[in-house]
A and B are shown apart, each in its own frame.
Chain A
Amino acid sequence: MKNQDLYKYVLGVADNSLILGQRLGELCGHGPNLETDIALTNIALDLFGQTRSYYQYAAKLEGNGKTEDDVAMLRLERDYKNVLLVEQPNTHFGHVIARQYLFDVFHYQLMTALLNSNDETLAAIAAKSIKEVSYHKRFSGDWLKRLGDGTEESHEKMQEAIDHYWPYTDELFDMTESDVKMAAEGIGVDVSEFKESYYKEVSDLLEEATLEVPANPYFKKGGKEGIHSEHMGYILTELQYMQRTYPNMTW
């Protein structure tokens, strides 16, 4: 492959959308009301749409007649580069919202920065995605406020969810080797640059939602390097089942 770093960079961005989309896809028909069911399905669909654009590009970079589905479904667990945050389970609606919001704020900032990428394809995908991601952020942010500032029960559940996910946020700003190289070429984004504004935005909304910003200074990481939580294997088992069981077929 000519540009190994670009390939890895694209996966680093795309795998987040794929895995979060899988998680949201599990919820279909099980939401607290029909409107949220539709909204979460809609977000999953946006994420898979983005995923497809990235993987089509990645497949082209990889060459050898690879397709988006090869990239999506035929890698080994250690080759997926999504952050740990997005692979966490849908424990309850508060968890779904916390995970979503903490990712959406980051995602929006990433897409905003990626609009200026020197890579035309990435810039074009970002231009399309940013509208979707701004919708996702509004949805998850609004629910965070409703749950945080709703009833006593919802407040507690939301705080517990935020506390649970907080240790996964720092990884969002880690830079892999490929990330560093791509940022230097003006293709990728130096995510560490918007770490401060991320925590500012999140903290402001938490405050509005009457929630505490967790003080926990211990963070978890590894996903970007392919070292995932134990949840990941199960996600991939479902994701890859058909492609693994019936290889080389058209669906």
Chain B
Amino acid sequence: MSEKEIKNLEEIFEARIARDDKIEPKDWMPEKYRKTHIRQISQHAHSEVVGMLPEGNWITRAPSLRRKAALLAKVQDEGGHGLYLYSAAETLGISREEMYEQLHSGKAKYSSIFNYPSITWADIGAIGWLVDGAAIINQVALCGTSFGPYARAMVRICKEESFHQRQGYEIMLTLSRGTEEQKAMAQDALNRWWWPSLMMFGPRDEDSPHTAQSMKWKLKRKTNDELRQQFVDQTVPQADILGISVPDPDLKFNSETGHYEFGEINWDEFWQVVKGHGPCNKERMEARVGAWEGGAWVRDAAMAYAEKQEKRKVAKAS
């Protein structure tokens, strides 16, 4: 293709994005658009899968059968979200194996939040309430993103996520209306999950290298800081209803702007976790790589069996 032809395609592409047309897998797209989407969608998929671990940690210990069932259903949904997202990424010409390889080698990231440990039952509530709450704010914005398969995956995922978030909040509500021990457990969980949740929105706008391009492609409709602000504004009143306090001495409502002002995130901690040195990065990767490597013989068997079946079918037919 000549440079002129590419230029022409790029112009048509930009015009389609501007018109809010959806870009579909067979459409022409700039290479950078394709790569950025592979990166974002696969990392999103990895987050769903790694995210099964901190919650899966409490399945056998859930305090009631009702909670146990709800938690299992939730973790199962997350596996399903991972599947949608891997499929969406595959439409861009990458295989799931390649994506796993990127995850396992550390080339691809997943949400930093899943590197924190779930150490009490209240953490399961806090994860649902805060982590899914933050995810929804990010994902609702993505329902309108320009790449069709990603946007459609987001619509399906958001419905289930909202349900999970309500479930998480309900756990927190039950704890905060319970005994003193339960209230303390809820407060402790908020203390530990609050800041990591704020970190889910990523670095400050001035430190976010992909933001400008992502906004142009409508992969992002709002900046990291805008989304983070929206999360704080939405979540602080929910903490008030629970009667537990957000662990931020600088937090205050500004009646002029209509927003909460909040303290500075510990960016050293953020980068430490992103770079692989958070509380559970190593454990999470060991679990994923272990499952993958330990399951190799199972996947090989399934392939061998499928091939045998195929041969038998052919032999029968001839």
- Which positions in A face B, CB cutoff 8 Å? 22, 25-26, 28-38, 41-42, 44-45, 48-49, 51-52, 55, 68-69, 72, 92-94, 145-147, 149-151, 153-154, 157, 235, 238-239, 241-243, 246, 249-251
Contacts and interface: CB of A to CB of B under 8 A. Distances in A.
A241 B61 contact: yes
The 3 A-B pairs with the shortest beta carbon distances in the complex, nearest first, are A32-B295, A150-B301, A154-B301
Nearest to B54: A29
27 contacts: A28-B72, A29-B287, A30-B290, A31-B291, A32-B294, A32-B299, A33-B298, A34-B83, A36-B295, A38-B76, A38-B83, A45-B69, A45-B72, A51-B65, A52-B65, A94-B298, A147-B298, A147-B301, A150-B300, A150-B301, A150-B302, A150-B303, A150-B304, A151-B300, A239-B60, A249-B181, A251-B67
Nearest to B171: A251
A34 B301 contact: no
B77 to A, nearest CB: 9
A222 to B, nearest CB: 23
B62 interface: yes
Contacts of A55: 65
- What DSSP secondary structure best describes chain A's contact surface? helix
Contacts of B76: 38, 41-42, 45
A151 B304 contact: yes
B64 A251 contact: yes
A249 B65 contact: no
A41 B75 contact: yes
B52 A29 contact: yes
A149 B65 contact: no
A94 B298 CA distance: 8
B52 A28 contact: yes
A26 B287 CA distance: 13
B62 A242 contact: yes
Nearest to B68: A48
Contacts of B257: none
Contacts of B121: 242, 251
A238 B60 CA distance: 6
A250 B302 contact: no
B82 interface: yes
A191 B132 CA distance: 46
A69 to B, nearest CB: 5
Contact of B79 (A41, A69, A145): A41
Contacts of B49: 29, 34
Contacts of B72: 25, 28, 41, 44-45, 48
- Greatest chain A CB density within 10 A among B75, B178, B179 is at B75
A251 B302 contact: no
- Greatest chain B CB density within 10 A among A22, A38, A48, A251 is at A251
A158 to B, nearest CB: 8
Interface string B67-97: 1110011011001101100100000000000
Contacts of B56: 25, 28-29
Contacts of A251: 63-64, 67, 121, 171, 174-175, 178
Given A45-B76, A48-B72, A149-B305, A72 B291 contact: no
